[in-house]
Amino acid sequence: MIFAANFKMNHTRATTKAYLDVLAQKLVSKCSEDRVFIFPPATALDRYEGDFTIGVQNAYMAESGAYTGEIGLEQLEEFGIKTILIGHSERRDVLGEDQALVAEKFAYFKAQGFEIVYCIGEALEVREKGDEAVMAHLLSQFEGIDLSYEKLIIAYEPIWAIGTGRSATTEEISSTHASLKEHFDRPLLYGGSVKPENIKEITAIDGVDGVLVGSASLDVERFSEMIFA
């Protein structure tokens, strides 16, 4: 099982270090094949010791250069980071990243050998049109994406369930994951209001290979509770 924490624009360098110090101690006693990913804000990127993988929430398609406000390979290599989150709905919808840019970013970091957690999801108005509309929309988000890439992890996050407190039903998750799995053979995570109260129910669903957790991951005790559930 994969447990991934996306801090988004939360935590500082100091609080991230304190969080990871606690998490590292807790994971010492976790003897399993589970994998844990942490995606802190860019200002908190560093080399941390522990049985987890640090990834970056976003990066630009260059080693360095005149790209104000961005970070590139040069900065990531300083901390040995080779994992990236691409395609998150907040970058698509809030920051205007279209599929062409998302695919370009994917191709670049694939060429660099990064492990990629690639996000897809649909808005409520799409979900309300039915399963066929949902699948058409989700599959459109794979345009330009190499689904055979061996370091690819896919995260399905219904946009209407992110940060709302409302998770998709087990039937919705099971049906969507089963349909998606017909198109690729890669690990598939579920994200969208995942929390300690529903973690067992979600991870027990056939076709769910892990979770991508947002707000509920910000507290190390709550995130640890999910890992050890």
Catalytic residues: 88, 157
Tell me if 200 is assigned to a ligand binding site.
no
Report the C-alpha gap between 56 and 4 in whole angstroms: 12
Cα dist. 63→45, 66, 76 in Å? 17, 11, 9
Tell me if 7 is assigned to a ligand binding site.
yes
SS3 content of the chain, % helix, strand, coil (to 5): 40, 15, 45
Report the C-alpha gap between 99 and 105 in whole angstroms: 10
Tell me if 52 is assigned to a ligand binding site.
no
Q: Read off the tokens for 88.
A: 């998150």
Tell me if 6 is assigned to a ligand binding site.
yes
| Beta-sheet pairing, 115-120 with 152-156 | parallel
Query: Among 137, 115, 116, which Cα is nearest to 126's?
Result: 137
Q: How many CA atoms lie within 13 A of 50 on its CB side?
A: 23
| Backbone torsions φ then ψ of 21, nearest 5 degrees | -60, -45
Q: Specify binding-site residues.
A: 6-8, 163, 193
Q: Specify binding-site residues for substrate.
A: 6-8, 163, 193
